[in-house]
Chains A and B, each alone.
Chain A
Amino acid sequence: MDVLQLIVSGLANGCVYGLIAMGFVLIYKATEAVNFAQGDFMMLGAFICLGLTNPEFMGLPFWISVPIAIAIMGAFGYALDLVVLRRMFGQSQVAIVILTIALGFVLRFVAGLIWGHQPISLQSPMAGRDIRLGGLVLGLDEVVVILVTVILTVVLYFYFNRTKLGVAMQASSQNQLAAYYMGIPVKRIHSLIWALAGMVAAVAGILFASKGSIDPSIGLLGIKAFAAAVIGGFGSLPGALLGGVIVGLIEPFASRYIAAGYSQIMPYLLLFLILVFRPHGILAQIHQKKV
């Protein structure tokens, strides 16, 4: 039973990592950029929902503030692309990585100014409730996290592989100029994908916040999620979730069966090994350049 509970809580953590990782992958698939501030997007989404819900701030009902928070983050993503990232059009990947790292610093500072640096808990209706299955006691929050993540992954996967807009998003990343010639509105698609990434981050943030308290530094979780995305194979949505779950599971088991100090190390050790032996992740999407 103990092991089972460890698995479920690991899965729930892994799903949050997976959701953040999916934000990375979404943007990477469509724009070939890497948003290092995705973790901070998640943090911001969590705080916006918390600011709307908690009685000491606005005190709205939870079910109203969730869609508002998601919408705000979507608008934020869209605006960010419009104002900042569009100027970066056509520049190298690493330049955008550096830009978004800097953006993360700024977002963390702003969140700290508004909501302070002390950990706060989101007043979520899921907090502290249990589900009993036979002898097994599972936290409602953890079950909800897993369910929402799985649904979202399936929806996004079909969106990218079956709908016209989804395919256009992929095409625009492979060759911007060619996509232009095919009549794909590349710039608007970029803005839309950033909006989508913002919304996914908001969902991740709300789910994370309903599992425990948050402070502005949780954005650094993005690094772990990034590791998860690479482990799974950058550029693959199911891969991102897979990577997230692997990282989520490896942590509690490492701290339990090896030593407490090692739970921090294991995800990165795994990442390093994956990079060395399977450089483009478990579900790779890289092809040889033609000369």
Chain B
Amino acid sequence: MRTVFKTSYDADINLFRHRVQAGWYVLLLVVALALPFLLGTFAIGEMTNLLIWAIACMGLMVLVGQTGQASLGHAAFLAVGCYANALLQLNLGLPFIIAFPLAGLIAGVAGALIAMPMTKLHGIYLAIGTLAISILTDDFIVLAEPLTNGVNGLMPPSIEIFGVSFDRYGMPGRLYYLVLAVALAVIYLYRNMQRTPLGRSFAAVRDSEVSAQAMGVNVARTKATAFGISAGITGLAGALMGHFAGIFNNETFNIIISIQLLLAIVIGGLGSIHGAFFGAAVVALLPQGISITRDFLGQFVGGGSIAIPGLESAVFGLILILFILFEPMGIYGRWLKIRTYFELFPFYRRDMFRRQKSYLKTERMR
């Protein structure tokens, strides 16, 4: 375990705790930059997908992990971002470089506006409220057919920035770099949020609304702001998802996606950027993992390549159940434990992370 001797206030303010930590992240970035030279076209596509999911997970993490507000409806903001981005390009002829950030802004404003009447809701009431929004968005896309082309869906144009093509099929490596750049920008904003009054007011609302209020935090406005930032980031992910999928309709952003997004960040570990990436990795790589496993088993059992409906969600659900039961802190929590084990070797004790037994008190008292 490394002890940091703090000699200025900046030691607490800076992005990295110490040089060695910064070194590891630079190494990780180098690996991420080198990937297109190491992997084939298919694998790089999978990595792009993973990064897009990670952006979406970070978006939801702002709300759930930092502010403690559950949302079962974030697919709605994926949809808003995706449709806004595509329609701005298709109908108004805006270039991607303008349409994309604008789409994030539109999703963010939509999120803040929707959150305003719901800032009094807690726990399950908020969950069901956001669930309703997700379902309503799905139906609205179908009803607003003249704009959204209903169930037939839309095809966003190929991305081009200042004459350079980032086509999904033609230039998968470039698209990967573009998504990576967006992901890094979002991470930077996320870290800035965490180290400023903004993020601290989110945490205050998460842990105790009544004392946040006594500290001068406007709870309703803070929640709406968190919703806005969260929806904005999610909207950016949605816009990228649209480009990555090539074609999308209301079904692309149905309620199952909302739920999957929430489950992903729980598996990954609530409250950290790492958790968002771990969770995204599980969601994005699981389908491939299952099909590889099935092909592998098929060699022995024979005829195992028939698709079994619902298998993917079932495996996903099972993983989640196991995590909630045995590792509620998610993959990131497990990672911390393993790291501590090696740092303290051989002095790690099993009960080091054990928490006090808790008894639930009614949440009807608010």
Contacts and interface: CB of A to CB of B under 8 A. Distances in A.
Interface of A: 32, 34, 84, 87-95, 97-99, 101-106, 108-110, 112-113, 117, 173-177, 180, 216, 223, 226-227, 230, 234-235, 261, 264-265, 268-269, 271-272, 275-276, 279-280, 285-291
B339 interface: no
Contact of B259 (A34, A101, A108): A101
Given A98-B324, A102-B320, A230-B128, A175 B361 contact: yes
B321 A90 contact: no
A176 B359 contact: yes
A275 B125 contact: yes
Q: Which residue of A92, A109, A216, A269 has the most chain B CB atoms within 10 A of its CB atom? A: A109
A230 B125 contact: yes
Interface residues of B, number: 50
Nearest to A104: B317
Counting from the closest, the 3 A-B pairs by CB-CB distance are: A105-B317, A109-B314, A102-B317
Interface stretch (B131-139, B228-236, B292-300): B131-139
Contacts of B226: none
A108 B117 CA distance: 34
B117 A286 contact: no
A101 B359 CA distance: 23
13 contacts: A34-B124, A84-B325, A87-B325, A94-B127, A99-B324, A99-B325, A101-B263, A102-B324, A108-B313, A108-B314, A109-B313, A276-B118, A280-B125
**Which of B117, B129, B310 has the largest count of A CB atoms less than 10 A from its CB?**
B310
A contact patch SS? helix
A92 B70 CA distance: 12
B182 to A, nearest CB: 28
Given A88-B325, A289-B366, A272 B133 contact: yes
Contacts of B133: 272
A275 B324 CA distance: 29
A117 B308 CA distance: 10
Contacts of A285: 364
B359 A90 contact: yes
Contacts of A286: 364-366
